[in-house]
Structure 1
Amino acid sequence: MESAMGPELNDEELYEHHKFIASKGQEPLRVDKFLMNFIENATRNKIQQAAKDGHIWVNEKIVKQNYKVKAGDEVKVLFEHPPYELLLTPENIPLDIVYEDDVLLVVNKPAGMVVHPGHGNYTGTLINALLYHSKDLPVNSNDRPGLVHRIDKDTSGLLVVAKTEAAMTHLAKQFFDKTSEREYVALVWGNVEDESGTIEGNIARNPKNRLQMQVFPEGEQGKEAVTHYGVLERLGYVTLVSCKLETGRTHQIRVHMKYIGHTLFNDERYGGDKVLKGTTFTKYKQFVDNAFKILPRQALHAKTLGFVHPVSGEMMRFDSEIPEDMSLCIDKWKDYAKHSM
């Protein structure tokens, strides 16, 4: 393996490396299809090109794209991507800045914008926009300028960004100590039975699909995750809920709500883009399809954000409007519930 990858690693260009161990329950599956399940935004063409270049290994041996991955196989793939400095190019992208001072800013991120550059998303990210807006952002432990926390590409809402090293340290500690306040609004499938509740369960990567996270209730894997939820409005086959995060794990609300049987509306990755509750009537299916078109993403918005200002010590709280696509979808369900339930 060392000799096989050595020449590429000496090139000036950067490469992305991914390594996976096929789970015990893995049925034989072509390596290109296996990798499609494990690498976000990796196209079939990109994986096939990696195979042609001899950049896919299984158990330390180069394989072709039709190799069948089996339980226990160690799969490695190497992708070429632009040099690091190009990934952090300032771009003149408009930002919805809610608040700004000398040490931090709060931005309202639109759905569809990736927070930081990565595989398949090398430009047009929030980081590219922030670097244009503020020239000397501090870098966090993952080499990501200004970032203290993040939200998913298709989730909209509030993010705080640090403009100095001291502010980054101070804010990061608040998130680590669980003293920051974060409230999300979500539209979920089904009628949530309890008016409020707390979901607890460790979260880690799904061993069979690395693009998904999974709850491990016994705590045998993953990191502790706690979500508090409350019902805002019942709309028949869907429910509008408020979710307050005690921890901030990848996909936390999406995974926790699915875990209790209430997948987010139109959350494609977790199966919410199908009719999960309701009737079999054709008219109803058409209604849901129209709702999907109005809101072509998971129904999740980071509505409020609270933290202690790193310099003044003042408690800062920010609130944002639910974006139009999500608001229109909620109104559509309200109207349906009023006339059909």
Structure 2
Amino acid sequence: MALEVLFEDNHVLVVNKPAGLLVHGDETGDITLADLAKEYIREKYNKPGNVFMGVVHRLDRPVSGVVLLAKTSKALTRLNELFRSKKTQKTYWAIVSNRPKTEQGTLVHWLVKDSSRNVTKAYSKENPAGLRSELHYKLINVAGGKHLLGVNPITGRPHQIRVQLASMKCTILGDLKYGAPQPLPDKSIALHARQLVFEHPTLKTPVTVSAPLPESAAWAPFRS
């Protein structure tokens, strides 16, 4: 599988992850984005032995889009701190069947993850077992009876965008786990990490990286 590189310098590597690819290893033992990134560095720079590649953040396996990786330990430490302190700007695009009641808004829930089933439940009122989760959404376009939402998560919780959109009856296309009636042909879900803005770990300048939309049929109405 070829790695689609969106931005690269001596410290960072930003790629467009395809749906279906793991970012980091799990019990399946399947090849990961980190594996592909290390192999890319070995081949491009003719580096023998181990290659350092730090995973700064993750996307769920069926989700596509921008992923930021660190090529040095110094960059990893600084980028991790940016994400912890919420000093990055993340924009996702999601395709849903139902039109939201309001064209833009803010969702706040307390999310509780069930690790045994790998699902997250959203509570509209404060739950002592949950984590406060917030996102902003905006209706961008309507085509083919589907609705394209732009989503900016303020917090970064497991399955946050998926469960919060589903809570307002806007389940993402193909997301069987959160109520979609049928899967997409490629088993992806129509959620794409469209853009990431972050401060460069050494230059301290803003970097904006956008990922082209997937080639799958679900995204066709919105690619123009």
TM-score normalised over the length of structure 1: 0.59
Superposed CA offset, 1:62-119 (max 9, x none):
xxxxxxxxxxxxxxxxxxxxxxxxxxxxxxx421111111111101111111111111
Structure-1 separation of matches of 2:7 and 2:137: 27
Determine helix, strand or coil for the equivalent of 1:305.
strand
Change (3 A) 1:131 1:260: same
1:318 equivalent in alignment to 2:205: no
- Residue number in structure 1 paired with 2:118: 211
Of the three residues 161, 174, 180, the one matched with 2:69 is 161
Structure-1 separation of matches of 2:154 and 2:91: 10
1:136 equivalent in alignment to 2:44: no
- Residue number in structure 2 paired with 1:329: 218
Structure-2 separation of matches of 1:216 and 1:155: 23
Identity %: 30
Structure-2 separation of matches of 1:179 and 1:242: 19
1:261 equivalent in alignment to 2:169: yes
Summarize the alignment of residues 183-222 of structure 1 with structure 2, pairs less than 5 Å apart: 183-206=91-114, 210-217=117-124, 218-222=126-130
The structure with the largest strand share of the pair is 2
TM-score normalised over the length of structure 2: 0.87
1:97 equivalent in alignment to 2:21: no
1:297 equivalent in alignment to 2:205: no
User: How many pairs does the alignment contain?
Assistant: 214
How far has the Cα of 1:330 moved from its partner?
4.3
How far has the Cα of 1:224 moved from its partner?
2.2
Determine helix, strand or coil for the equivalent of 1:262.
coil
Change (3 A) 1:231 1:265: same
How far has the Cα of 1:237 moved from its partner?
4.9
Structure-1 separation of matches of 2:207 and 2:163: 29
How far has the Cα of 1:189 moved from its partner?
2.4
Summarize the alignment of residues 1-341 of structure 1 with structure 2, pairs less than 5 Å apart: 93-120=1-28, 122-134=29-41, 135-137=50-52, 145-206=53-114, 210-217=117-124, 218-235=126-143, 237-274=145-182, 292-293=184-185, 296-325=187-216, 328-331=217-220
Superposed CA offset, 1:235-280 (max 9, x none):
4753110001111111111011011111111112112134xxxxxx
- Counterpart of 2:109 in structure 1: which amino acid? G
Retained in 2: the 8 A contact 1:190–1:236? no
Structure-2 separation of matches of 1:184 and 1:333: 14
The structure with the largest helix share of the pair is 1
Retained in 2: the 8 A contact 1:191–1:236? no
Q: Which runs of 5+ in 1 are unaligned?
A: 1-92, 138-144, 275-288, 335-341
- Counterpart of 1:302 in structure 2: which amino acid? A
Structure-2 separation of matches of 1:266 and 1:333: 16
Retained in 2: the 8 A contact 1:108–1:157? yes
Structure ID, larger Rg: 1
CA RMSD of aligned residues (A): 2.2
How far has the Cα of 1:131 moved from its partner?
2.5
